[in-house]
Amino acid sequence: MSTLSQQVHEALKALLPDRMSTQRDLLDQHGQDESFHAPYSPDVVVYPVTNEEVSQIVQLCAQTRTPLIPFGAGTSLEGHIAATQGGICMDMSQMGQILEVNVDDLDCRVQAGVTRKQLNAALRHHGQFFPVDPGADATLGGMTSTRASGTNAVRYGTMKDNVLGLTVVMPDGKIVRTGSRARKSAAGYDLTRLFCGAEGTLGIITEVQLRCYGLPEAHAVGVCSFASIDAAVQTVIEVIQSGIPVARVELLDAAQMQAINQYSQLDYSAQPTLFFEFHGTSASVVEQSERVAELVQENHGSEFTWAVEQEAQNKLWQARHDAYYAARALRPGASGWPTDVCVPISRLADCIQQTQRDLVEFDLLAPIVGHVGDGNFHLLLLVDVDKPAELEIAKIVNDRLIKRALSMGGTCTGEHGIGYGKLAYMELEHGAAVAVMASIKRAIDPLNIMNPGKMIPDNVLKDEAQ
């Protein structure tokens, strides 16, 4: 049953008569992301199309103390969109316009509901692209809100490196613009970075100004395997230290490679394997590939297989593209619990190997994929949720993984974000700094209506309020 007052329902009907819904299946759809975590459905879903409509909805929420949860494509992995206290889900899908492309300046402005694939389809006509590529076709608003990343962060950075400015509707309904189109500024607090990664807890992002990049003249990809995780990671460290501008470097462990061979009928060696991608001129990608091949050989890797022709590249990358579905196929019927951490690259091999020992100890199947160039790796814990003992084991392994990463100077999440799935680790990672975050939250959103139950633990918010 809806917990919203009749006043709120009537106000929404007046504002958005044909762009709101209380249909049960739609509510449930908007309370469940792609995570392992329990869903929480909102009481109503609304579909604004302008900044002004967003502002009016936010003002209504402030007047009635109604929780408000932004929704992009629903592809988050830590329960970001779960309406843990009910309320209004604001679906941004109808704010899907590319507002401007400034070709000479290599930047663009989009509404929050534009997806990365839609943007890149438009930019391609101008010989440009936007590089941040989380696995799903997420919206640019959601990617900004979660400070998303992807396979080519080692070359192009994450969302925090590629967002120039924002339009944000504040918790009182005011519309503010942060940043500018300038490539640098020393003017004032960096509000753009404050909202980038705030997960909708400080305001609703409605527009994003983004950096663009010229499409590279040429690509090359390469694949090689190693006898150990240590050797694979050491190779990547040496590649980075050598200044070779790799665009992507992915690590798949032996379990993941075995899964791919079974799923895709391939014959890769079931060993830790690196997948590289290089961008540049036709001559430079060959030079980069040859230099990496030398480093692979020095670290006793297998023959470095590389290609510059598109068909051959696609064949080499197929294994990486199939990784998720290949892992799920290892245990049909099981649920997949995705989790990630990030550590300094010098500690990456040790972190992965200790985690693999946990998997052996608890007899838990969880293939590993890593964006090894920046120390980030993912586990997909394959769990039968109908077996409480097995679920408890998965929780123990996840807890050990996170605490291990923190002990190594890392973070509980390199890409997925906090949501409510990793809320319990915020104080462990940030200590007294969480109280500072809570002070910011309370100053900007004193009614705690913006995506409540995320980012800041409730006990910290209450302590700050006293």
CATH at 393 = 3.30.70.2740
CATH at 24 = 3.30.43.10
pTM for the model stands at 0.95
Same domain assignment for residues 86 and 138: no
The average pLDDT across 35-49 equals 96
Same domain assignment for residues 117 and 146: yes
Number of domain units in the chain? 5
CATH at 230 = 3.30.70.3450
pLDDT band at 464 (very low <50, low <70, confident <90, very high): low
Q: Which domain holds residue 371?
A: 331-407
Same domain assignment for residues 122 and 196: yes
269 contacts: CB under 8 Å, gap ≥ 6:
225, 257, 302
Domain final position from 272, 304, 325? 325
Q: For the segment 197-246, what is each residue's pLDDT rounded down to a tens digit?
A: 999 999 999 999 999 999 999 999 999 999 999 999 999 999 999 999 99
So what's the pLDDT on residue 1?
Answer: 44
Residue 418 located in a structural domain:
no
Domain final position from 179, 214, 249? 214
The answer to whether 8 touches 64, Cβ cutoff 8 Å, is yes
Same domain assignment for residues 104 and 209: yes
Q: For the segment 144-158, what is each residue's pLDDT rounded down to a tens digit?
A: 999 999 999 999 999
Same domain assignment for residues 230 and 156: no
Domain final position from 47, 63, 91? 91
For the cut 90, the answer to whether the pLDDT of residue 118 exceeds it is yes
Q: Residues in the chain, how many?
A: 466
Same domain assignment for residues 209 and 109: yes
Same domain assignment for residues 224 and 208: no
